Structure 1
């Protein structure tokens, strides 16, 4: 059962942070001013940091992680929407902020090096520690014991990583922890939205905590730790999409287009890749499909993952103004959406169709389409709407447009070009 006990705890703790921040802040900045910026982000020494403040076990600070830019405004109206976007667990790692940190070390082996992973969960795992996005508050809630995580009392800063598998279940055999980072072997089916994030302290957080601008660099060196938590500066995960999102829509090209029904759409694409979810160099994080030649057919489904409804998806019949340009006419979305590997310039799609003939019989056929995005290719984090203009038995026109998911633009191919119909 999902654990929600942490919601109230998180709210009360953050409120306490805000009440106490001013009393702690003066000593904090004095302590930080004694530091020099360490090029390797290594622990600068207990004496330098405890000159003004001494942390004891009784003053440990809990680790409270938010999702999105919501820690700055608890009245953010889209909290429920954000939680609904994360229907499955978020996984969290946290490692010592040091160039010499070894990502093979687990929390069970050395809590100082690996602050958070799944190795001390009731069922130990090499993956990150499971959490859920709150429905009423913007914080992650740990789903397994321990349900509260604390910074260590040695002022050591830590990096915090989060990743999202969208329901994809992995065993420890799929987890490769090396000295430099952690990657997962993933096999996608077109349904998973793979995302990851590394928390970085923002200017807004520093302003909210009333940190003087000339102390920002020193404060960043100490993120994230008990010291920064004392000023209510906690990790915030801004997730990045690593796959390409395809949406399919049907447009009536001719008046009898409604007689054609789409019963399935599949996209041929690579299905096996490696997802780097934590690394000493953040530029190496993401999903890489270049190391494999494993291809498969990714089927478009309904929103619940079931196969497309049969005898359902056809172009609009009534009230169509055929004087309008093709893609300004009313359209019908087919099924849900499809998540595919990015980087391709062309996807091969197979469309299974039926057409109602004049004698009242149904004719089944398939059409193979080359869905192309020119030299730009299909990019991670973009949503592409594949617009299918239905002419009849032999012909489908194709137009591709980019719509906001993370960013956008416009591309198209000739919608009148016949695309290799096959019976």
Structure 2
């Protein structure tokens, strides 16, 4: 066992876990003062719920080994409860549980991301029921499609999900998704759009009606997300090597460029660059570089960041034009940014991109994977959300929303003013 790689992977897992509390601050600062606890609790609820489900059966669904080729719902029954993974095989680079821990944090974050679309109006219990079902029948299988693969001694695919092994067999190249552009961001963004449609608009929904109550929280959350994202991207190499270093540099370059691009669009469009815009731009760049961080030169990573920052800054206004209330722009940042990063690889991936020596096949497989995940997640999230809404009610009443969801749902206030 390589203790260096083991330590690297465990540290990266801890960094990724920190992203979910970071997301709680990012989302918490964006909502109204009387719903900040509700917003942050949906992220913390995801940590508790998905952490337990991952150990019980999530890993067994997402990583069934070569059996995953037999059927998309294959389960490694020996991995239920992780009892079969306690021993480290001879010659392994790291203990199996280190990989389990790393992937658990991805599952937690992906679920938490969805909650931003239903801020200010969702019941906590209904959210938890939705999260459990969506993780089980959407995230765990999609993670298997993208992340479940094994390599032969010569570096070729020995087995894997259909986006890797299957595409390799059919087209000669597999999908490039180093850290989860499809499995995490497109997946969560599509589900967020579905839930926004199921729950409907907030009271008084219109442009400018709902403003962030605490921009410093937003900046703090974005900083924690960016810090944790180095673990997200570099850690996906599963080794402390040159590829991890490239992923690290690109995880600096792309969001830095996206931050600048978002601020420039804000200045041109609204006259003022904002702190919330800076935070949102950085996150948009982080989303876009996630699938691409190990397959681009740093220069092309900067270009990707500029494109993602500018396009996402414009995309967040789509909800006003199309009439859906995605409260915290999960669609405009994660779905759009994830699509940009995933499809960009079809043009600029080292060696296989259309403009980097390829013939367009990489773009084809990237598009197939991206839109398959988008449709699969959207349809099932809509069905799950609709059933939850019709059975137990997903949304609080308009009166409770106006009064303050924190007090109604959790019996707490984020800010209390004491009078002497």
TM-score (normalised: structure 1): 0.23
Higher strand share: 1
Q: Larger radius of gyration, structure 1 or 2?
A: 1
Higher helix share: 2
TM-score (normalised: structure 2): 0.23
